[in-house]
Amino acid sequence: MEIDNEGLASVAQPASDPIAATEADLNRPKRAFSGMQPTGEPHLGNYIGAVKRWVQMQDSGSINFFCIVDLHSVTIHQDPDELRKRTRSLAAVYLASGIDPDRSTLFIQSHVSAHAEACWLLNCVTPLGWLQKMTQFKDKSAKQESVSTGLLDYPVLQAADILLYDADQVPVGEDQKQHVELTRNIAERFNRLYGQDGPTFVIPEPVIPTVGARIMGLDDPTSKMSKSASSVRGHAVGLLDDPAEIERSFKRAVTDSSGEIRFSDNPERAGVNNLLTIYRAITGRTTEQVESDFASARGYGDLKLKVAEAVIAELTPVRERYQQFMQDPAELDRLLARGAEQARAVAMPKLRQMMHRMGMVVVGG
Ligand code: AQP
Q: 45 C-alpha to center of ligand 1: Å?
A: 7
Give Cα 165 distance to the centre of its chain.
15
Mean pLDDT value of segment 211-236: 90
pLDDT tens string 91-146 = 999 999 999 999 999 999 999 999 999 999 999 999 999 999 999 999 999 988 89
In terms of pLDDT, which residue wins out, 71 or 1?
71
Mean pLDDT value of segment 291-305: 93
Whole-prediction pTM = 0.91
Mean pLDDT value of segment 62-81: 97
Residue 193 has pLDDT above 90, yes or no: yes
Q: What pLDDT does residue 144 have?
A: 86
Q: What torsion do the CA atoms of 329, 330, 332, 334 make, to the nearest 10 degrees?
A: 160
The contacts of residue 301 (CB under 8 Å, 6+ apart) are none
**Catalytic annotation present for 138:** no
Q: Which of 13, 6, 28, 90 has the alpha carbon at shortest distance from 353?
A: 13
Q: φ and ψ at 95, to 5 degrees?
A: -65, -45
Cβ neighbours of 203 (radius 10 Å): 14
- Ligand 1 pocket test target in 87, 135, 176 with most atoms within 8 Å of CB: 176
Domain 6-210+327-357 -> CATH class = alpha beta
Q: Where are the domains of the chain?
A: 6-210+327-357, 243-325
Confidence of residue 4 (pLDDT cuts 50, 70, 90): very low
**Catalytic annotation present for 140:** yes
Confidence of residue 12 (pLDDT cuts 50, 70, 90): very low
Pocket of ligand 1 (CB under 6 A): 36-37, 39-40, 45-46, 48-50, 172-173, 175-176, 213-215, 224-228
Residue 311 has pLDDT above 90, yes or no: yes
- Ligand 1 atom nearest the C-alpha of 76 is 30
Q: What's domain 243-325's architecture?
A: Orthogonal Bundle (1.10)
**Catalytic annotation present for 227:** yes
Q: Is 364 left (phi over 0), alpha (psi -120 to 50) or beta?
A: left
- Ligand 1 atom nearest the C-alpha of 212 is 4
Q: What pLDDT does residue 26 have?
A: 62
